Amino acid sequence: MGKHGITLLLLALLSAFGGLAALDRPGQFHPLVEFETFDTTAAAGSPPGKLAFTFLFDAQTSLPHCEAISGKVGRTVLQHCPTCTIRQLRCITSLTEDQWALLSTSPLPFPSGRMPMGAVSFLSDNPELALAVCRQSALQSADSQQPITCFSPNTTRPQPVHSLLGTPNIKVAVLLLLAAALGSWLASWLIVKYEPMHARFSQDLLTGPQKVHTALTPRIGGIGIMVGLLMASAILLFMDRFPQEREFEMLMLAGLPAFLGGLVEDITKRINVVQRLLLTMLSGALAAWLLGAVLPRIDVPGVDLALRWLPFAIAFTVFAVGGVANAINIIDGFNGLSCGYTLIVLLGYCVVSAQVGDFLVFSVSLAMAGALIGFFEWNWPTGRIFLGDGGAYLLGFLLAELAILLIMRNPAVSPWFPVLLLIYPVFETLFSMYRRHVVRGQSPGEPDGLHFHTLVYKRVIPRRAPNGRWLSKLERNNRVAKYFWGWGALTAVLACLFWQSTPMLVTIAGIYCLLYLMGYRRIVGWKTGSLHLRWR
């Protein structure tokens, strides 16, 4: 089959699995329980105040689990409130505008309560009664698994901290981290140790506009990352304690096209950029089908309205997954750069997923971090093994999917939180497309040596040490990553501080993009002619 035939086949598979995702998407079930009661302490001669309060929880992946939660809430409330009656108790598959607002952090015109996994509204003709019941509910639930934090009308409602630390989950998470690190380290060690046996298939080329290494090096480090992740997922499957083990397995299964497409390119050098992009998009379509991982919102007027139409939401999500995966591959140009930056992003995911109690995102992020730690020793500073396209596309796919799952399952998390975490590779990709197509008149997919990290290597990293000694190419190579780790750590800290505030996250992302452009222009301004750039 020729290249065009393979591309057409990938397009057909992408369309097929996108259609399956639209027709057979796993359900997202929100437990909803609504109660009604009356204020029996009203003054003589006045009618008793009527109060309605509604519990709404984050989406569950199975109907039985959703029904179990709603049933438990109903029984618990009736035990503490004999005068209460249940108006409705059900699992809903879609949310109205008001219900999305209840689960968000936006101010509401009535008293409301926030819980680690949901929210509750208090509605009454008597505002004082509603606020009093809200506060009483907070006191009664203080020692429960879902403590309520009461908020007065027209006040911001931050997500309460629901740390996973100190629970049995953290022990499993640490085990995942260690298992993934060990598996990745061993696989990478074997690749390096037996390099002569596979060198003619696995070694990277020394020629190309983005090549700065001086020794032939295996570029199949993605195998080590995959082995580490498979060991972590096997532990969850073996323990059989959490419902997340199935989701972990489904996520790894969905990532196979992205990983295998990149790995085949690492070995054969025959999979072009369009085919690799289609394979990562195919992985995104598989995740939408197997896990229901579809972006529900991005906090952009107009686009959010369009995302309510499932076919558009799936197409938008699949394209975003392919874009992020390609972005991680683009920054994989120097020792430790992409894997170190990815570690910083994963730490941000861990911080926020722990606060909202999302064990799936928390555990997968820790497993990925462990796999990267095991690989890191062989990649930086020695540069004895590279991620390759297989590793880069796998990491990019998983980073994109974790962002989608975090947003989809936790309405309090702003969609711009992962955007700010990934701002460097995403903006690097967008700017590279502009630079190649608009400024230089080339194909956006044509590689060049003008990425920001390449220019830092060529023009910022000194060629001599402070003592006057000439630095080797390897020493200069290793210093590039530190510049971007610093910026990545800063944006990650800011993202974790404002993970619920879209306006703050958008503002910080805009400032970052402006600083990027200023820094890039200053660097190329030193020798603009030699780079053949025409700034407009």
436 secondary structure, DSSP code: I
Domain count, the chain: 2
Residues 134 and 220 reside in one and the same domain: no
Residues 307 and 202 reside in one and the same domain: yes
Task: Please identify, among 151, 185, 209, the residue that sits at the C-terminal boundary of a domain.
Answer: 151
Per-residue pLDDT of the chain (536 residues; tens, 9 = 90+): 566 778 888 888 888 888 888 877 666 788 999 999 886 554 444 455 788 999 998 887 777 888 888 898 888 888 888 888 999 999 988 788 888 889 887 889 999 998 877 899 999 888 888 898 899 888 888 877 778 899 999 988 877 665 555 555 677 778 889 999 999 999 999 999 988 888 888 876 655 555 565 667 888 999 999 999 999 988 877 765 545 447 888 999 999 999 999 999 989 888 888 899 999 999 999 999 988 899 988 999 889 889 988 899 999 999 999 999 999 999 988 888 999 999 999 999 999 988 887 888 998 999 999 999 999 989 888 888 999 899 999 999 999 999 999 998 887 889 999 999 999 999 999 998 888 878 777 777 676 778 888 888 888 888 888 887 888 888 888 888 899 999 999 999 999 999 989 999 999 999 999 999 999 988 887 544 444 444 43
Residues 172 and 45 reside in one and the same domain: no
Residues 352 and 398 reside in one and the same domain: yes
Residues 126 and 202 reside in one and the same domain: no
User: How far apart are alpha carbons 259 and 252 in whole angstroms?
Assistant: 10
User: How far apart are alpha carbons 61 and 409 in whole angstroms?
Assistant: 9
Residues 241 and 122 reside in one and the same domain: no
Contact indicator for 374, 318 with CB cutoff of 8 Å: no
DSSP string, 389-426: HHHHHHHHHHHHHHHHHHHHH-TTS-THHHHHHTHHHH
- Peptide bond before residue 381 is cis, with ω within 30 degrees of 0: yes
- Angle, to 10 degrees, between the axis of helix 256-268 and the axis of helix 244-254? 40
In a domain, 12, yes or no: no
Residues 119 and 176 reside in one and the same domain: no
The amino acid that residue 127 corresponds to is: P
- Residue 55 sits at φ, ψ, to 5 deg, of -95, 130
In a domain, 498, yes or no: yes
Contact indicator for 320, 283 with CB cutoff of 8 Å: no
Residues 234 and 181 reside in one and the same domain: yes
Q: How many CB atoms lie within 10 A of CB 347?
A: 18
For residue 60, the SS3 value is strand
Residues 50 and 198 reside in one and the same domain: no
User: Whole-structure pTM over 0.95, yes or no?
Assistant: no
User: How far apart are alpha carbons 89 and 32 in whole angstroms?
Assistant: 6
In a domain, 429, yes or no: yes
In a domain, 7, yes or no: no
Residues 247 and 384 reside in one and the same domain: yes
Q: What own/partner pairs with CB < 8 Å and gap ≥ 24 does 239-244 have?
A: 239/172, 241/172, 242/169, 242/172, 242/359, 242/363, 243/61, 243/62, 243/65, 244/359, 244/360, 244/363
Task: Please identify, among 125, 151, 177, the residue that sits at the C-terminal boundary of a domain.
Answer: 151
User: How far apart are alpha carbons 132 and 117 in whole angstroms?
Assistant: 22
In a domain, 437, yes or no: yes
User: How far apart are alpha carbons 13 and 282 in whole angstroms?
Assistant: 7
Contacts of 482 (CB under 8 A, 6+ apart): none
Residues 129 and 192 reside in one and the same domain: no
Residues 357 and 499 reside in one and the same domain: yes
Task: Please identify, among 151, 186, 218, the residue that sits at the C-terminal boundary of a domain.
Answer: 151
Question: Helix/strand/coil (H, E, C) string of 148-166?
Answer: CEEECCCCCCCCCCCCCCC
In a domain, 125, yes or no: yes
User: How far apart are alpha carbons 381 and 336 in whole angstroms?
Assistant: 7
In a domain, 378, yes or no: yes
Q: Which residues span the domain enclosing 106? A: 30-151
For residue 462, the SS3 value is coil
The amino acid that residue 505 corresponds to is: L
Q: Is 161 exposed, middle or buried (0-12, 13-18, 19+ CB in 10 A)?
A: exposed
In a domain, 232, yes or no: yes
User: How far apart are alpha carbons 244 and 256 in whole angstroms?
Assistant: 19
